[in-house]
Amino acid sequence: MRRYEHRWNVVRFFSWIQWKRRFIRVTTKLSRALLDTRKKEALSMVQANRLNEAKALYTEICRMNPRDDEAWFLLGAVHGMSGSFGEAIVCCRQAIALRPNHPDTHYNLAQALVQQRRPDEAVASYREVLRLDPNYLAVYINLGTLLQASGDLDEAVSCFQEALRRQPQNADAHYNLGNSLRLQGRYAEAAESYRAALRIQPCNSGILYNLANTLNDQGLHEAALANYREALRWQPDYVDAHNNLLFALNYSTEHAPDEISVEHRRWAARVGAASPEALSFTCTPDPERRLRIGYLSPNFNRHSVAYFIEPLLAAHSPAAIETFCYADLGQSDTVTVRIQELAAQWRPITHLSHEQAAELIRADGIDILVDLAGHTGENRLLVLARKPAPIQVTYLGYPNTTGLSTVDYRLTDAWADPHGQTEHLHTETLVRLPRGFLCYRPPVEAPPVAPMPAESNDYVTFGSFNALTKMNASVLAAWAAILRAVPGSRLILKNTVLRDPASRDRYREFFAKEGIASDRLEMIGWVSDPAEHLALYDRVDLALDTFPYNGTTTTCESLWMGVPVVTLAGRVHAGRVGVSLLSQVGLTDFIAADTDDYAVRAARWANDRGGLARLRAEMRVRVSASPLCNAPGFAREVEQAYREMWRKWCAQRE
C-alpha cells in the first residue's frame, strides 16, 4: 500500500500570500471613484500586511454603511487572509445578499467553506461562480478537486478536462486529472496526465511521486524507481517518496539484497533518529511483571494486516500482557470495531504529529512498541525514530528492515529468514518464532470449498490474485512456460489494476509474444464484496505465487478455499513467505528451488488431478489444524519472545 500525494488547490489558495495577491487583483478592478479615503487607507494596510488594522477599519466602514457590498467583500477577503474563515463566510454572505451576481464573492465564499470542512456548500458556491462566469478557470480545478474527494470522479474528470480545454498548459489541471483517472482505475491514462504535467513543471517532486506510484501499481518497477529517485533529487527530504522507493525495491528483480539493505540505511540516515543511549524511560525494570505492549498501525481495519494481528490480540494472555493499540486510521469499519474491542487500551493518533504520538506512547509507559507497517503507506516510522519505548520491534506489515537503529528486533521465522542467511541485511536483531511468524484468521464470510473446476471442465485453470506490482517479467515468463507445458490450460489473474483496459492489453501482448492465445487468459478487476472475491477461487485448480515478492494474504485465502499454491523459495524474507506458509500446513512439495523447478512442479501437479482433488477436499481441515491457525499457541510464542527481550533489557539496567 502506497501513500499518494494530493494537491488540494482549494487549500493552497488560502495561504495568506495567495489571499493578498487575489485581494489586490480584485481591488484594482474596482472603480477608483468608489474607493473613498478610508478604503484606500485600508487597502494600504493590507499591502503592508497590517491585517488586524485593516479588519478594524473595514469593520468600521461596514458599520457606518451596512449596504456597502464592496466593503463587506473586502472585509471577508481580509478575514480569509488572516485565517478567520468563519468570519469570512459571514461577510461573503452579507456581500452576496447585497450583490448576488458578483462571482469573486461566491468564489471567496467557496474557499472559506472548504476551510471550514463544508464541502457540499462549497461545491454549490463554485457552481454559482461558473453560472455567473463560465471562464473562471480556477473554479474548474477547485471544484474538480472537491468532487474527486467526494467520489464523483466522472464529473471531477470533466472539470479538469474543461480547465485544460481553456488552458492546455495548466500543470495543476493535468496533475489533478491524473489523480481522478487513477482513482477510476484508468492507470495508463493517469500516467499520461502526470507526464503532461511534468512537461510543464519538470522539477515538481509531487507529480514525479504520483507518476512513480502509478507506474509501480502497473508493475513497471524500473520506471517507477527512476521517478522516485527523480522526486528525491528535487526534494531530498521527501520521506514518503523514499519510503515508496524502498517498498518498490522489494518487487524488483534488478537489485541485489545488499543494495536494497543499503538503501534502507540511507533512508534512516536521512530522517535521523534519537540516540538510544541518551534516552531515559520510566518503565520499572522488573523482568517478570505484566508487560505493556503497544501495537502501532494504520491498518486496524479491512486490510491484510488485520487478518494476522486480530488473532494475536484475541489470544494474548491478559495476565501477562496489557495491549495498547495506537491507531492511525484514515477510515474505520467493522474490523476496526472488532480490534478495538480486543485491545485493553485504544489510542487514536491520526490527529497527532510524530512528536505528539511519541510523547503519548512514552506517557503510557509502553515497555515494548511493535510497529506493524514498516515502509508501507501511512507508516509512523518517524515515531519509532524518536524511541518512545525502551524496546521497539517491527513485525508483519513489511518484509524487510526498517533501517532504523532505534528499532531493536524483527519478528520472523527460520523458513522466511534461514539462520545465517539474512541477518546482515537488517539493522534489527532477528527473532525467529518456532512454528512460523504468521497466524491467520480465516474470513468468516468465506463460502464453502467448491469441487475442483477441472472435474467439470476439460482443462486445468491456474490463478493468481496477487497485485500487479508483484508480477514482473520473470514471473510472467514462468507462467507462460507453465501454460505451454500444460496444453489447454487457462490462467486467471485478478487485481484492482486490471480494471484498466490498457493494463489488460499489456498483459495480453506479453503472453501473445510467449505463444499464449488471449482466450487462455482471463483478467478480473476489483471485486468489492469479500465473499464474492473468495468465491472466485472456485474457478481455480492451482494457484501460482509471485516472486521475488510472494503473496501472504492471497496465499492464505487460496489455501482456505482449497486451492494449493506453487511458490518459489527466494533469497530474502519477501521471497520466502510462501515457504513459511506452505511449511506450516505441510505442503512442502509445492515449494520450488528455482524458476525451472517452479514450472515443473506446477505442470506436474496440474496433471495430477486426483491429487489436487484430494488436497482440495481436505485443505480447510488441514489449515485449521496447522500452526497457521493456532492463535493460542502462536500468542504464547510471541509473548515468550517479548518476555526474553524484556528480561535482556532489565538485565542491562542492573
Give the tens place of pLDDT for each residue, 83-138: 999 999 999 999 999 999 999 999 999 999 999 999 999 999 999 999 999 999 99
Amino acid letter, residue 382: L
Q: How open is the CA angle 237-378-398, to the nearest 5 degrees?
A: 95
> For residues 565 and 585, is the Cβ–Cβ distance under 8 A?
no
Can you give the pLDDT at residue 31?
A: 43
At residue 47, the pLDDT reads 79
Encode 428-492 in three state secondary structure: CEEEECCCCCCCCCCCCCCCCCCCCHHHCCCCCEEEECCCHHHCCHHHHHHHHHHHHHCCCCEEE
CB 491 within 8 A of CB 521: yes
Residue 467 has pLDDT above 80, yes or no: yes
Same fold flag, 1-133 and 453-628: no
pLDDT of residue 98: 96
Architecture of domain 276-432: 3-Layer(aba) Sandwich (3.40)
| Residue-level pLDDT at 653 | 87
**For residue 371, what are the β-bridge partners?**
296, 394
What are the grid coordinates assigned to 508, written together? Answer: 495480453
Q: Which pLDDT belongs to residue 206? A: 97
Average pLDDT, the chain: 93
Between 314 and 12, the more confident residue is 314
SS3 for 246-298 is HHHHCCCCCCCHHHHHHHHHHHHHHHCCCCHHHCCCCCCCCCCCCEEEEEEEC
Query: Using H for helix, E for strand and C for coil, what is the string for 343-404?
Result: CCEEEECCCCCHHHHHHHHHHCCCCEEEECCCCCCCCCHHHHCCCCCCEEEECCCCCCCCCC
CA distances to 126, 296, 477 from 480, rounded to whole Å, are: 52, 41, 5
Integer angstrom CA distances of residue 107 from 42, 128, 132, 167, 583: 22, 9, 11, 19, 62
The listed CATH number (3.40.140.10, 3.90.1150.10, 3.40.50.300, 3.40.50.2000) that belongs to domain 453-628? 3.40.50.2000
The pLDDT value given to residue 278: 59
Classify residue 520 by its DSSP letter: G
Alpha-carbon gap, residue 475 to 472, rounded angstroms: 5
Residues paired with 623 in a beta bridge: none
| In the predicted structure, residue 25 carries a pLDDT above the cut 80 | no
Report CA 113 to chain centroid distance, whole Å.
Answer: 28
Q: Which of 530, 563, 525 is nearest to 447 (CA)?
A: 530
- Please give the average per-residue pLDDT across 230-256, as a whole number: 95
The full set of domain ranges for the chain reads 1-133, 276-432, 453-628
Set of cell numbers at residue 157: 474528470
- Region 544-573 average pLDDT: 98
Tens-digit pLDDT profile for residues 337-371 = 999 999 999 999 999 999 999 999 999 999 999 99
Q: What angle do CA 252, 256, 259 make, to 5 degrees?
A: 105
Model's pTM, two decimal places?
0.90
More confident residue, 225 or 35: 225
Query: Which residue in 609, 553, 559, 613 sits closest to 583, CA to CA?
Result: 559
pLDDT for the residue numbered 345: 98
What H or E segment, with its residue span, contains residue 409?
strand 409-412
Least confident of 60-74, 147-161, 212-226, 427-441: 60-74
Phi (first) and psi of residue 370, to 5 degrees: -115, 115
pLDDT tens sequence across 259-318: 999 999 999 999 988 776 557 898 999 999 999 999 999 999 999 999 999 999 999 999
Angstrom distance (rounded) from CA 585 to CA 626: 5
Instruction: With cut-offs at 50, 70 and 90, classify the pLDDT of residue 37.
Output: confident
Sign of CA dihedral 149, 150, 152, 158: negative
pLDDT tens track for 468-523: 999 999 999 999 999 999 999 999 999 999 999 999 999 999 999 999 999 999 99
* pLDDT tens readout for residues 565-615: 999 999 999 999 999 999 999 999 999 999 999 999 999 999 999 999 999
Q: Which stretches does DSSP call E strand in 528-652? A: 542-544, 565-568, 591-592
Select from 3.40.50.10490, 1.25.40.10, 3.40.50.300, 1.10.10.60 the CATH code of 1-133.
1.25.40.10
Residue 280: per-residue pLDDT = 84
Q: For the chain, first and last CA: distance in Å?
A: 43
HEC secondary structure over 168-217: CCCHHHHHHHHHHHHHCCCHHHHHHHHHHHHHHCCCCHHHHHHHHHHHHH
Residue 651 in grid coordinates:
538485565
Q: What confidence score (pLDDT) does residue 65 get?
A: 87
Share of the chain above pLDDT 90, in %: 86
The band of 13, judged by pLDDT with boundaries at 50, 70 and 90, is very low
Average pLDDT of the residues in 433-459: 96
- Compute the average pLDDT of residues 33-39: 63
pLDDT at 2: 54
Q: Which residues contact 156 (CB under 8 A, 6 or more apart)?
A: 144, 145, 147, 148, 176, 180
How far apart, in whole angstroms, are the C-alpha atoms of residue 309 and residue 366? 18
User: Does 10 score more than 70 pLDDT?
Assistant: no
